[in-house]
Amino acid sequence: MSDIDLNNNPPPELRPYHVLVTGFGPFSRYSVNPSWLAVKPLHDTVLKVDIPLEPVLPVDQPPADSGASLSATREVRITAIQIPVTYEAVLSIVPGLHARPPVLPPSSEPFLPTPLPPPEGYDLFFHVGVIGRGSLRMERVGHKFGYNMKDAVGSLAPIVRISRDEGNQPSDAQRMEVLRLRDYNVESLVEGNELPKRGFGRGYESFAEEIYTDVDVEKLVNHLKTCGFDQIYTSMDAGHYLCDFLYYCSLAENKRSTKNDKSVPASQVIFLHCPPVNLPLSTEEVTEAIRKSIMWLCRTLTH
C-alpha cells in the first residue's frame, strides 16, 4: 500500500507496473495456439487500477475516523509475446525475460511490434497455455523433472541423469497428457521399463524439484469467481509438458534474479491453462479472465 500526505500535499505519482504476458506458438492440430489468441489482444494495452493509499498524518494529529477511503490510479502496461512450443526455445528465451533490462525475442508477427522493455524489469509474468476442453486452471507449482514428451519439432528435454532406483516411468497425469496431444508420444522406455530423467539440470542444480508461485492462487481464483468466471479452479499439476517446463523455468529465473539483485523487488509469476476455443469458453472470455487477473494481482503488489 502506498502512502499519502495529508499536509495539503498532492498524492504521490505512482510509477506504472509492467506486465509481460506470454502465449505459445503453433503445435499439433493448432495452427494458431488458443493461448496466443487469448493474450494477443492485450498486447501494448494500458489498464488503470485504483491503489489504496495509507494516510501519513502529522505527528500531533490523531487518526481520523471518517471512513473515507483514499486511493490513487496506477497504470498497468502490458506486453504480450509468443513462445515457440520447444524446450530449446524456453531455455533460450525465458532467462532473458527476467534479466534487467529484459531481453525479449523478436516479434512473432510483423504487424505486432514489441515495445522497449522496462529497464528495471517486469513486475508480473503471466503465462498462458492450452490444455484440454473444460475449465480454466490456475497453476500453483512448476516441476523440475518428468519431461518425457516430444515438443513441437520432435525434440526432447535435456537428460539430467538415468537412475533405475528413481522409477522414472510416466505418471498417470503424463499419460493423460499424451492422449490429449494424440500424435505426440512419450519417448521409448530404456531397457523396457524405465525412462531417462529429463528436465532441468546444469544451471538449475540449486533449485528445488518443485517451485511454488508466491501468488495466493486460492484468493485469485475466488476473485475471478466473484467476477462471474465459474469455470475455473486451482491445480497442482501443470502437465509435465511445455507449459509446466516454461512455468518452472520462469519461477526459477525469477528467484535467481531476485537473489542476484536484492535491491529490486521480487516479481510475481503465475500460469493459467485455458481450454481450446469454445470448449467451452470463447477467446474473448479467456482474455477477460486474464485481464481481471492482472488487475487483481497489480492491486496486491506492494512495491
- What is the mean predicted confidence (pLDDT) over 90-99? 98
Q: Which three cell numbers stand for residue 39?
A: 493474450
Output 14 or 121, whichever has higher pLDDT: 121
Nine-digit cell string for 16: 506504472
Residue 250 has pLDDT above 60, yes or no: yes
Closest CA to 197 of 227, 226, 172, 163: 163
Q: What angle do CA 101, 23, 41 make, to 5 degrees?
A: 95
Question: Which residue carries 487469448 as its cell?
Answer: 38
5-19, 125-139, 180-194, 239-253: least confidently modelled range: 180-194
Q: How far apart are CA 303 and CA 301, in angstroms?
A: 6
Q: Report pLDDT for 301.
A: 83
Phi, psi for 71 (deg, rounded to 5):
-150, 165
- Asked if residue 81 lies in contact with residue 105, where contact means CB atoms within 8 angstroms, the answer is yes
> What distances in angstroms separate CA 2 from CA 54, 74, 294, 299, one per listed residue?
6, 11, 19, 11
Q: Are strands 45-56 and 17-24 parallel, antiparallel or unpaired?
A: unpaired
Determine the distance from the C-alpha atom of residue 137 to the mean position of all C-alpha atoms in its chain, rounded to a whole number.
Answer: 12
Confidence bin at 165 (pLDDT 50/70/90): very low
Find, among 127, 179, 174, the residue nearest to 146 by Cα: 174
* pLDDT at 283 (0 to 100): 98
For 137-146, what is the mean pLDDT?
Answer: 98
8-12, 70-74, 144-148, 194-198: range with lowest mean pLDDT: 8-12
8 Å CB contact between 121 and 257? yes
For position 46, what pLDDT does the model report?
Answer: 97
Q: Parallel, antiparallel, or unpaired for β 136-139 and 268-274?
A: antiparallel
pLDDT-derived band at 111, boundaries 50, 70, 90: confident
* DSSP for residue 41: G
What rounded mean pLDDT belongs to the chain? Answer: 86
What is the average pLDDT across 48-72?
A: 66
What is the reported pLDDT for 4? Answer: 46
Q: Check residue 13 and give its pLDDT.
A: 77
Containing H/E element for 269? strand 268-274
- pLDDT of residue 132 exceeding 80: yes
pLDDT tens, position by position, 202-223: 999 999 999 999 999 999 999 9
End-to-end C-alpha distance for the chain, whole angstroms: 8
54-78 burial, b at 16+ Cβ within 10 Å, e below that, comes to eeeeeeeeeeeeeeeeeebebebbb
